[in-house]
Structure 1
Amino acid sequence: MASMKILTVGSPAGSIRELFAKVKALDAKHGKFDLLLCVGDFFGPPKDEGEAYADDDEVVLLLEGKLEVPLECYIMQGEYPLPAPVIEKFAKTGSALAKGVNLLRVIITPKGLRIACLGGIYDSNLYAASESAHGFTSPYFTSQTVDRLLSNTLTTSKPGSQQNYTSLAAIKANAATSQLVDIFISNAWPSFIAHASDAPLPDQALSSIGVDPVAEIVRRTKPRYHFAVGGGQPPKFWEREPFVWDEDNGRITRFVSLGGFGSPPTEGKKQRWFYAFSIAPVTPDNPAPPRPANATRNPFTEEITRPPKRPLESDEGANYRWGDVKQPGKRSRTDGQPGKPPTGYKCKICESPDHFITDCPDRAKPKEGYICKICNEPGHFVRDCPVKNAVGDTGGRKPKEGYVCRACGGENHYIQDCPVANQPSGGRGGRGRGPPKEIAPDECWFCLSNPNLAKHLIVSIGAECYVTLPKGQIVPTHTAGDHPNAPRVPGGGHVLIVPITHYPTYSSIPLDLSPPIINETDRYKDALRSLYAKHGAAAVTFEVGRLTAKGGHAHVQVVPVPNKLKDKVEATFLDEGRRHGIEFEADPEEALRACEGGRGSYFRVDLPDGRMMVHLFRDHVPFSVQFGRQVLVSLLGMQERFDWKTCLQSEEEDKADAEAFKKAFAPFDPSLIA
């Protein structure tokens, strides 16, 4: 089995361009490497609230694809929240933040290596108390974060298989019982990692920094390599001797904590910030690996005696918390008044000698400078946080400002409470779901009865459907000269075909009612193809047939592409799909039949040559509703037009585009042809 050569580096802390330059030099000297793993904080501390990212900021340049990425790179969240532009990009594109740069959770490489990641830092109070996994606006991981990671390591793929799994979606579709991973990276150290080791620690304080949740992940996944970067401030390099899992065919684990690439210099020896190694997948017929000569006892399987708890009452020396006094757990009746602190005691909150800390009147308010770890505001403890129990629009906990659900783009619920991410339909042959709850006409963007509908963009109304220009269309109509691949259709040519009657998807329209709607939709598609052909372009049509809890309004988007690019449409959809774990069905017609009657969600593309591509949504696997637009702006070389909101025009400009399109479309418009 072919091995992979991997380079792992410590926290760049925002020095992205410099890191990539160093990695490029290392690759030229010691490569070629197959993969780059960045442990710890890739972006460094986020900006202060209200402080914008400049156009030349390295974060912005990376997200816009303007930095040279020397290797396929996987990054993680370290001890800080991710920057706002990164969270926004993740909400739109998923794990692929830029070409060659991916946010790591759980992946299986094309060569069959399993890699898992736990980002963030540990707080014992938040870990147990949080009711959900935090988003990237929080630096903390919770018990739900760990549970999700462990469940996502399940896979049926046999060790050493070369199935082309490149996404969490592919893993979930093949979930079974094995949880073993080849590489695990975390920001925090596991507890007891220094136990039974003779390798000298760079700082003795590191012997007690490990946390139990990370240790539990190690016990369950038994990684062959475990990389961390939480070894002090700034991070220090430490490589532990290997240890063996006897019950798993002598599986060997190596733990390495890396120094930070972007850390300030420290006194003494320069901390090592990179680690290169080769690793091949384990195959079923592999013999047990030889036990390394320097292997130690396994710190995760041997019984470890924790230090005994200090007795509540002791006269031997000073107490670690209360000073040279007896514990208040058993209040002395011979030293002071009953119920009063002993001589020498001072409340840790207000320093008064007259009461215990549990009776302090200031206990309800924090000291000056205390910041709540939930809302990042002063003036109250975590337990009293006013947004701790705030409810979002789907009934779950309300997210912090700036959070965006990556399943549906909503800002008022976490993804675990999202009706789109949690819908039971979407898999091949999966259980059907009941008809989605209809939304009121004044809430639907596409119902003609909605008084807020942008009627000035409508360009044709038939018996069953209408055609409208979208807000913020892909095609730049007033700056087309700046884009060599911009189609030359009057008014832009990017339109939506929308059934007048409200149905969630085309496949959910009852079979006895669908023929006239589908026939008129097809007539509009043919008419648009004729219009585009007159102006040297071909049509690409796509539908996000997504069933939601409220029930969306079915529509298809039709976008012109220059004839010189029409033969590249299919390959671009396939390439972008592979980057995001989106797989297209071998039999698209059969896939759509499986969704009839509202039995599943899907994404459909009609190619310029008349063929069709279909992707079926899978249970609990998010799908970006902007995927079709993302593919086409990439094909047209107009990535800056990915976000429709940034492409909005004035109403006067929209009306001018609508009039230009109607005039050009009139000879082909089915509603005007007898």
Structure 2
Amino acid sequence: MASPRILLCGDVLGRLNQLFKRVAAVNKSNGPFDALFCVGQFFPDTPDRLDELSDYIEGRSPIPLPTYFIGDYGVGAAKVLSPASKHPANLGFKTDGLKICDNLYWLKGSGKFSLFSLSIAYLSGRKSSDGQPMGTYTDDDIDALRALAEEPGVIDLFLTNEWPSEILNRAADAPVGISNPSGSDPLISQLAAEVKPRYHVAGTKGVFYAREPYSNDGAVHVTRFVGLAPVGNKDKQKFIHAISPTPASTMSAAEICLKPSKTTLSPYTVTEQTTQATEATKQHGNNITDAQYWRYDVSQKRHRQGSGDGERLCFKFTSTGSCPREEKCNFRHDMDAREQYLKGCCFDFINRGKCERGSDCSFQHGLGEEGDSFSRKRHRSNNRGNESQGRECWFCLSSPNVESHLVSSIGESCYCALAKGPLVEDHFLIIPVEHCPNTLSVAPEVEKELQRYKDALKIYFKNQRKVVVFYEWLSKQGLSMHANLQAIPIPLSKASDVHRHFILAAKKLGFEFEVINPSNHSSEGRKSLRSLFDGKSSFFYLELPEGTILFHSVEDKEKFPVQFGREVLAGMLSVMDKADWRNCKLSKEDEIQMVESFKKGFEELDPAR
């Protein structure tokens, strides 16, 4: 498959006639090109170009190529973009562009999407010193971009309006006269160092500059920075640049590791990044040190920390039966997976449950009887913290598998137990004694006792200058699950962060929480919640420290992480390595000690006394 052909453009400033005339000519002489990406200010500086803008927006003048822009500021921006953002076709979580008119798309906020197999990330807007709401990026946009940078895979193209302020460091080919800070942002330097794109494209400096490639700390590929001049600039500097990058997802390891002879070291040194982070903290009022960004594929985080309990399979072991790294390997050695591989099953299908090659793949995309056993084993492993099957239920007190040493209190209808693999100390569960799929469907007497345990835990943690977050995941396929309500203590200093982190996480997944604000007691909130839960869909809810309840009913084909609540809190509490409960296993002796310590402090409050 041929590599996509992309045009890049600097600040348009509303000069659409000049831009699209040039694009049409380039496309005719050197094309065809697949898309045009514009960085820097897209809208006019003065009102006299609004008629020219309207001709394209209203369809009187054609746009020759699919065009994407991030410079959502300038004269007329609010008038065009506000109604577009409210259009029904643009509602929801759209990272691949809000349609303004035929062939024109606004990349709003921040995001990452795939186009022609290229992975494209962007930060829309610019830093604001006057509090303007339109055309400026927010803390949430930055947080979301950092979370995206944590995801597996190489980002091919990173679009920002402003230059990274440190890009000229270590550059032998730096042009004269662009050392002033105007049009640069230290936060962009920090983001570029985290995102590690293959191409970083920016505008706003008023000049064209293609920097020598630089290497990235912690990555094998190089980055090429391109700064573009404004359309129609008086110095006739280059404002359109063409590239034809092979998507990283289709490149071999040898290809992606290649470094041109003039490659420099990264301009973003550790010392400089620390300085930038401090400066960004001052400018954005956000404690970057404390802001740990939630993510859902935690396997790569574990891999960097050297854990051998990763989610992903070791290809070397699966294909050959041995791995020279042995116990130091960051990936999983699984004999069941190897047996399936030897029987002709596709490694990607075993490892990820899917294969993007589809019919082009020469291996099997299905598991036999033994493979089904492997699949079930893996499923149980992923959900063992809060699922059970019949007599194997971990939470039924009559089950031979119950770990009774974790139990701290047993009432008439509910009991309290230390979570297996606790996220933090004193991470407990409130569990109905009778086997049932969720706590929203329990009998009234069970609900009353559950509420007493909740109230007691709130007081217990308040005495420790902590608050508590309660949450529950209700699976549509969870008829065999044993209900458990998670109770996780949060330091008082972070209590106000909980709401923001969950809203941000929801935005990343493409949904918005519905909200219940109980006027009196949290039991009233649960009563409202029960009336809204129909049992036909998977369901997630949490109770915030102030009593507000956030909930989301999961649609049939919606991708929703089973460990969503834990992963968000792990990020907020800066313990991302504990997002998977299996990374948090304690010895039985440590578990007993933790339960006994909790019992002593909880004794006077225990509803079972």
> Same fold by TM-score, threshold 0.5 exceeded?
no
TM-score tier after normalising by the smaller chain length:
0.3 to 0.5
More helix by share: 2
Tell me the TM-score normalised to structure 2 length: 0.43
- Give the TM-score, by structure 1 length: 0.39
